[in-house]
Amino acid sequence: MTEVGFGQRLKDLYKHRSYSSPEARMAQSKLLRLGRHFRVSESLKVIVGRNEMENREMETLWQEAGGTFFRPENFDGPVSVGIGPISETDRGLIGRMIARYGKTTPTPERKIAFALVSGETGGFSVHEPVDDKMLEKLRL
């Protein structure tokens, strides 16, 4: 817990308290050690996986954490979990984050699928990745 990045993530978890049950708090605590963390707004945090192992673990935790799960459809890239309410604009930003960390693809249209805890699913497309300056402003 002396790692600076982990300390920031832990502080953020308790400051924003977006969990609704002890189980959600535990799952969100487990997510602290995974991926890249971004504070998009006061009510929304986004976690983007760094490798296949993290992607698999995030896929098992997102529902219990009360999040929204995002994954690339037509290219290789990380999964992402959004914790908090997500607008259509936020969805687009999360898709652009996935595109930024994904493998390059010959198609300019990258398709992203998402799933909500309620069982609702959907998809959308992004055309370009988010720029690094924006990511640095949001990074925890």
Query: What pLDDT, in 10s, does the model give residues 60-107?
Result: 999 999 999 999 999 999 999 999 999 999 999 999 999 999 987 667
d(CA 18, CA 65): 9
Q: Classify the C-alpha dihedral 100-101-105-109 as positive or negative.
A: negative
pLDDT for residue 3: 62
For the ranges 32-36, 45-49, 105-109, the maximum mean pLDDT occurs at: 45-49
If one counts the domains in the chain, the total is 1
Confidence at 8, pLDDT banded by 50, 70, 90: confident
Does position 11 have pLDDT exceeding 90, yes or no? no
What would the mean pLDDT of 32-48 be, rounded to a whole number?
Answer: 94
CA 48 to chain centre: 4
- In order of 28, 30, 44, 65, 130, the CA distances from 101 in angstroms are 22, 22, 20, 23, 9
Confidence at 24, pLDDT banded by 50, 70, 90: confident
Global pTM? 0.89
Q: Which long-range contacts (CB under 8 A, 24 or more apart) does 3-8 make?
A: 5/140, 6/32, 6/33, 8/37, 8/140
**Which amino acid is present at 124?**
F
Token code pair at residue 70: 């995002």
Contact 27, 81 (CB under 8 A): no
**Is residue 103 classed exposed, middle or buried when 0-12, 13-18 and 19+ CB atoms within 10 A define those classes?**
exposed
pLDDT for residue 105: 66
- Residue 36: domain span: 4-138
pLDDT for residue 1: 45
Average pLDDT score over the chain: 90
Does position 48 have pLDDT exceeding 60, yes or no? yes
